[in-house]
């Protein structure tokens, strides 16, 4: 009996095993596993999404809070800056120290002649040697225009002359190296930084602001001025300097006004100081831009192509002269050494000759510059014809460079003969030299 039950049990277990190991059973196992895996994946995804939603909500809440705090902070900073007037910290400091610049210890006894001679000696004391004619051209040029261009070969002392002149005036020159990417006045004056809520004040802006408190002569040197296009970054300065009334020469610094802005800013504008001169040094080579007629016509030009011979100079101290005294000396010279009627007639004839042969005319601006330049040059100790020769070569004959070079070459000899006939033989050496140079360049 027991054996019968045992055999039946074993037989039943064998049938169950056969069924579980059959193909249908294996297929069922696979389906169950797939379903379980799918359920597991769905569960994980749902859990992930819930977590992301919670995290995103938390991050959004934090971001919103950060933005709110940042905006609130910026508003507080801006409010604080407006209240304290610190968007122009340096200009505000100059306001507080204005008494430093309101000096009165000026030397009123100097003449234009001694100014040239003393400047030459002072430069020589520092191993910088210049011809006395260069000093006369330099001082006379400054009396005509507040913009001057010193051009010539590298190493002839262009920057040094402008720099030593500031030292001689007991008010050091401000040297600004021009950058190749400069295109607008903000490169010179600076700009308002929206992030810091302050104005990036440049050295030039600071000096302009300081100069408006002073009667000193201020010299700004634009070193290598034509490494960028002068008529781009300096255009507004040139236009302002053309305005006869110095009280109307205002440059825009910022577009708005704060009640706490520095005292001398008028509706975000600064006055272009009438006691500031801009002296640009220019090298004429492949690395620079050509200076446009717009700039040349408004500026006085001086060539420094060679170094003067060393000489023994008397010891000289700086001379503290006010810009008003300098302008008065120039005004007095124009009354005392007005261009002679004979040379005025010669100029009229030369103008007619230039129009007929070169299609070049003097123009009112150049004629005014000639009339203002010659008397000061004479007061500096020079000769009237030498002054006329110098300014004609820089302001009139320079325009011949833009003419047809073949025509200029053919007309050069006739022009030189006409100069000898009109002014006297070899009385206009600079004009003849320039014309011959243009003729040889073809």
- 8 A C-beta contact, residue 207 and residue 172: no
Distance CA 275, CA 327 (A): 10
Q: Give me the DSSP letters along 312-375.
A: ----------BHHHHHHHHHHHHHHSPPPHHHHHHHHHHHHHHHHHHS---HHHHHHHHHHHHH
Residue-level pLDDT at 151: 93
pLDDT in tens, 145-197: 999 999 988 888 999 999 999 999 999 999 999 999 999 989 999 999 888 88
Identify the architecture of domain 88-303 in CATH: 3-Layer(aba) Sandwich (3.40)
Pairwise CA distance, residues 432 & 426, whole Å? 8
Domain boundaries, the chain: 2-71, 88-303, 337-440
pTM given for the model: 0.80
How far apart, in Å, are the Cα atoms of 202 and each of 92, 126, 190, 208? 14, 29, 5, 10
User: Which range among 83-92, 176-185, 405-414 shows the weakest confidence by mean pLDDT?
Assistant: 83-92
Q: Give Cα 72 to chain centroid, integer Å.
A: 37
DSSP strands (E only) in 367-430: none
Distance CA 442, CA 439 (A): 6
- Of 435, 358, 361, nearest in space to 404 by CA: 358
Smallest CA-to-CA distance from 123 within 89, 75, 157 is with: 157
Q: Count of residues for the chain? A: 442
Beta bridge partners of 337: none
Asked if pLDDT for residue 80 goes beyond 70, the answer is: no
User: Cβ distance 106 to 294 under 8 Å?
Assistant: no
Indicate whether 380 pLDDT > 80: yes
3-state SS class at 382 = coil
Q: To the nearest whole percent, how much of the chain has pLDDT over 70?
A: 81
> Which tokens go with 189?
């004056």
Q: What is the pLDDT of residues 301-329, one digit of tens each?
A: 999 988 889 999 999 999 999 999 999 99
Residue 427: closest CA among 366, 342, 355, 362:
342
Phi, psi of 216 (to 5 degrees): -65, 160
pLDDT, residue 130, reads 96
């Amino acid at each position: 009996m027991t054996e019968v039950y045992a055999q039946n049990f074993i037989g039943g277990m064998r049938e169950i095993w056969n069924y579980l190991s059959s193909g249908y059973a294996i297929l069922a196992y696979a389906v169950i596993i797939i379903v379980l895996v799918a359920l597991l994946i769905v569960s994980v995804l749902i859990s992930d999404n819930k977590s992301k939603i919670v995290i995103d909500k938390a991050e959004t809440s934090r971001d919103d809070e950060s933005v709110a705090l940042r905006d609130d902070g910026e508003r507080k900073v801006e409010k604080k800056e407006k209240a304290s007037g610190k968007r122009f910290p340096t200009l505000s400091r100059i306001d507080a120290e204005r008494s430093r610049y309101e000096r009165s210890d000026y030397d009123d006894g100097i003449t234009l002649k001694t100014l040239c001679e003393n400047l030459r000696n002072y430069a020589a004391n520092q191993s910088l040697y210049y011809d006395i004619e260069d000093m006369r051209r330099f001082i006379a040029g400054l009396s005509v225009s507040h913009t001057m261009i010193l051009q010539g070969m590298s190493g002839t002392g262009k920057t040094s002359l402008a720099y030593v002149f500031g030292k001689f005036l007991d008010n050091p020159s401000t040297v600004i190296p021009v950058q190749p990417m400069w295109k607008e006045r903000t490169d010179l004056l600076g700009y308002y930084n929206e992030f810091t809520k302050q104005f990036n004040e440049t050295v030039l802006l600071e000096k302009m602001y300081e100069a408006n408190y002073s009667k000193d002569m201020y010299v700004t040197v634009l070193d290598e001025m034509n490494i960028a296009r002068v008529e781009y970054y300096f255009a507004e300065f040139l236009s302002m300097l053309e305005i006869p009334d110095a009280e109307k020469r205002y440059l825009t610094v910022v577009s708005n006004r704060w009640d706490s802005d520095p005292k001398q800013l008028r509706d975000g504008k600064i006055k272009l100081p009438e006691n500031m001169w801009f002296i640009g040094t220019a090298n004429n080579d492949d690395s620079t831009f050509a200076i446009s007629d717009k700039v040349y016509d408004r500026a006085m030009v001086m060539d420094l192509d060679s170094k003067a011979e060393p000489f023994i100079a008397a010891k000289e101290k700086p001379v503290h002269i006010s810009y008003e005294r300098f302008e008065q000396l120039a005004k007095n010279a124009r009354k005392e050494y007005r261009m002679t009627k004979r040379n005025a007639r010669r100029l009229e004839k030369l103008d007619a000759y230039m129009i007929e042969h070169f299609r070049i005319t003097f123009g009112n601006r150049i004629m005014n510059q000639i009339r203002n330049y010659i008397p000061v040059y004479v007061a500096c100790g020079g000769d009237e014809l030498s002054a006329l020769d110098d300014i004609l070569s820089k302001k009139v004959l320079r325009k011949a460079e833009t003419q047809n070079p073949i025509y200029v070459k053919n007309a050069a000899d006739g022009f030189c003969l006409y100069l000898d006939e009109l002014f006297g033989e070899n009385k206009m050496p600079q004009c003849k030299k320039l014309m011959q140079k243009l003729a040889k360049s073809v």
